[in-house]
Amino acid sequence: MHTVSLYSTLATKDQMNRFFLAVFLLLLVTKISGQEKEKRKHLDSIQINLKRSLDSILKNTTNDLNIIVLKQKLKEITPKKPKKEHIGWKDKANFTLLFNQSVFNFDWQGGGTSNVAGNATLNYEFNYKKNSLTWDNKIIADYGLTFLKDEDFARKTNDRIEFNTRLGQKIGQGFWNYSLFINFRSQFDKGYRFTKNPDSEETIRIEETHFFSPAFIQVGPGLLWKKSDNLNVNIAPVTSRMIFVDKEFTNVTDYEDGDYFGVDAGESSRFEFGGSLAAYSKYTIIKNITLEQLLNLYSNYIEDPANVDIDYTLSINLLVNKYITGSFVFQAIYDDNATGGFQIREVIGLGLKYKF
């Protein structure tokens, strides 16, 4: 009897608990439903007042103007969709062909020599990104010639082939990355020094450089600060550099060690160990005009570390339309292994541009 009474008491308590729980849930749902109704009622009131205000303002202007203003306002307040981060390979290429011409007739008294010049440039980038890993690659090919009236030989205005590859691993959530870079630079064609024969006034050219003479290869780990593809700085305090040349330029009579790009007599290469910095920026000045800057610094720890090699390039590009472009390029190079002063180059022209 006592056992049956105990079971009956427990069952009654369990039913009471369920009853109170059901009442509590019912009251909670009712309260939430009431709050939602009040919220909807409040929003409906705001919507009605806003519509009345707009009606009172818009009734005094034309429908065409109202549509323009409302579309513009809707565009302003519509939240922008976040850009989806690209994962995997991404490439782009630009080919530019610039022309320059000056012509003077026989009766022109102001002086000058008729000439025509052309410059072709190819920039190709193929980059990889996945999570915190980036791998950036860039090929630059640049070649230009100018033809002067009554001259036997064309002269180069530019000759450059360069390959850059850089691996980056992001550090935390900031802009810093661990990095490893490789840089290769050389030229396509032979380079000459031009002189005049004092007796016949004939132009004489002497070969000074050609493909892979010189050639520069730099390799080094470091730290990369990369805010975007258009603004980054790579610092590599431990960088090795190899300079390769043709022995025919170091085996000449009376050659002194280091005269040809720092290479000793009878040798075809030179090893340097130092630190480097590479900085890149690109931004829009005004619509259709961009300014691009590239700075490379290198210090050889083994020999004259305070004597820093400098390679600075400034490019201003004007996009006339999809295919026509104007370009101004300024480049300054200081390398005491090549010459004792700054090497300066300027190119300005109008030409064709094609993206693919």
- Give residue 63's identity as a one-letter amino acid code: N
Give ∠ CA 343-344-345 in degrees, rounded to 5. 130
Query: Residue 3: what pLDDT?
Result: 47
CA 141 remoteness from chain centre: 16
How far is Cα 121 from Cα 98, in angstroms, rounded to an integer?
A: 9
Query: Of 217, 212, 219, whose CA–CA distance to 245 is shortest?
Result: 212
The neighbouring-strand residues paired with 290 are 284, 317
Q: Are 213 and 244 in contact (CB under 8 A)?
A: yes
Is the whole-model pTM more than 0.95? no
Which residues neighbour 253 within 8 Å (Cβ) at sequence distance 6 or greater?
none
- Specify the 3-state DSSP secondary structure of 88: strand
**What confidence score (pLDDT) does residue 37 get?**
60
**Confidence (pLDDT) at 145:** 94
Dihedral angle, C-alpha 65, 69, 71, 72, nearest 10 °: 140
Mean pLDDT score of the chain? 87
Task: Measure the CA–CA gap between 312 and 278, rounded to whole angstroms.
Answer: 10
CA distance 297 to 27: 74
CATH code for the structural domain at 88-355: 2.40.230
Residue whose C-alpha is closest to residue 123's, from 101, 145, 92: 92
Domain boundary assignment for the chain: 2-77, 88-355
Q: How many Cβ atoms sit within 10 Å of the Cβ of residue 299? A: 17
Cα–Cα distance for residue pair 209/193, rounded to 1 Å: 9
**Strand pairing partners for 334?**
310, 342
Q: What residues of the chain score a pLDDT lower than 70?
A: 1-44
DSSP bridge partners of 343: 333
